[in-house]
Structure 1
Amino acid sequence: MASGVDKKLLKSTKFPPEFNQKVDLKKVHLQVVKAWITKRVTEILNNDDDVVIELIFNLLDPDEARYPDIKGLQIQLTGFLDKDTAPFCKELWNLLLSAQASPTGVPKELIEAKKNELKQEKVNFEPPHRISL
């Protein structure tokens, strides 16, 4: 339930248009998204803040709300992520939209990032070529 301050912030904050699209968490592979959330929040805060990460996980719990409220989530995270809140929420919402559109429930951006990471590892660990004499 939003407090009076939260309601004022919801009305006065300009949100990106994609926030008007609903996400069905039942179509999303949440473990993959949770790993991204953990990594991203750790990058933003420069430490592994379990309180903030758990707050986000709880707000994205499909047993609590099948269709999460990204605008409310952004308002609640502002005190923790400060200036990074809006970009984080936009990035998160785009991943969730991508995930629900994917047959596997995994955002295509994360699949591509993993492919690129594996390619890079392969290049970095390529055995030296042998020269025949």
Structure 2
Amino acid sequence: MSGGFFRGTTADQDTRFSNKHAKLLKSQKFPPELENLVDMTKVKMDVMRPWIAHRVTELLGFEDEVLINFIYGLLEEKVVNGKEIQISLTGFMEKNTGKFMKELWTHLLSAQQNASGVPQQFLDAKEEETRKKQEDMDRITRELKRTKEKEGREHDQESVKMLASAIIWVHVLSSNYCRTERLLM
């Protein structure tokens, strides 16, 4: 103990006290989308929540409400860092984490840039769905119109047949009446 100094290692030198979070940030591979921070005040989470729940359930194969709520909690900050969220989710989602984060971050970045706060992919999908519904409605309307026209023509033909039949009956009855008149006279 010469000079009053202790021998050994300092906290910086001891691996037990190293910053594991910083090591994970350096060691993991991240999708390029995660380089950008997201301002969550510009994103409508009401639109994102169902997608997150559906996608997590799809990737895991079962619904994990705890994980889904954990992700919601991670996204409650004003500005979020995708790399940190990926590190937090890796223990839960394992090999699916990178895929999920890439998709999530793409949607969040799109929502942040869009004035409505909704990802453009969601808007495009909704527009396509609306277009398909309108096409279906138009097709059904055309089919109904064709059916009505066909029924109208059939109805007209039936009316003509009934009228012809009535005329024939009137003729037959009047002939019979005339015959009976002649016989009576």
TM-score (norm 1): 0.83
* Paired residues, number: 128
Cα drift, residue 77 of structure 1 = 1.0
What is the rounded CA distance, in whole Å, between the counterparts of 2:73 and 2:47 in structure 1? 15
What is the rounded CA distance, in whole Å, between the counterparts of 1:55 and 1:47 in structure 2? 16
- CA 1:122–1:39 in structure 2 vs 1: closer, same or farther (change >3 Å)? farther
**Residue equivalent to 1:67:** 79
- For the residue of structure 1 that corresponds to 2:128, the secondary structure is helix
**Residue equivalent to 2:42:** 27
Structure 1: which 5+ residue stretches go unaligned?
Answer: none
Cα drift, residue 39 of structure 1 = 1.1
Q: Is contact 2:39–2:78 with CA below 8 Å preserved after alignment?
A: yes
2:54 is the alignment partner of 1:42: no
Quick one: which amino acid aligns to residue 86 of structure 1?
G
What is the rounded CA distance, in whole Å, between the counterparts of 2:132 and 2:19 in structure 1? 50
Between 1 and 2, higher relative CO (CA 8 Å, sep ≥ 6) is seen in 1
Q: Could you tell which deviates more after superposition, 5-14 or 25-34?
A: 5-14
Give the helix-richer structure, 1 or 2: 2
**Residue equivalent to 1:127:** 140
The equivalences for 1:1-133 within 5 A come to 4-61=19-76, 65-122=77-134, 126-127=139-140, 129=143, 130-131=146-147, 132-133=149-150
Which runs of structure 1 show a deviation greater than 6 angstroms over 4 or more consecutive aligned residues? Answer: none
TM-score (norm 2): 0.62
What is the rounded CA distance, in whole Å, between the counterparts of 1:122 and 1:80 in structure 2? 42
Cα drift, residue 117 of structure 1 = 3.0
Structure 2: which 5+ residue stretches go unaligned?
Answer: 1-17, 151-185
Quick one: which amino acid aligns to residue 69 of structure 1?
N
